[in-house]
Amino acid sequence: MIAATPEPPYYAVIFTSLRTEGDHGYEAMAARMAELAAEQPGYLGVEAAREDVGITVSYWRDLESIRAWKAHAEHLVAQRAGRDTWYRDYRTRIAKVERDYGRTDASGPRST
Residue ranges covered by each domain of the chain: 10-101
Nearest to 17 by CA among 43, 44, 46, 51: 51
pTM, full prediction: 0.89
Q: What CATH topology corresponds to 10-101? A: Alpha-Beta Plaits (3.30.70)
Q: How confident is the model at residue 101 (pLDDT cuts 50, 70, 90)?
A: very high
Predicted confidence (pLDDT) per residue in 50-100, tens digit: 888 999 999 999 999 999 999 999 999 999 999 999 999 999 999 999 999
Is residue 111 scored above 90 in pLDDT?
no
Q: How confident is the model at residue 103 (pLDDT cuts 50, 70, 90)?
A: confident
C-alpha distances (whole Å) from 109 to each of 39, 100, 104 are 29, 11, 6
The 3-state DSSP class for residue 76 equals helix
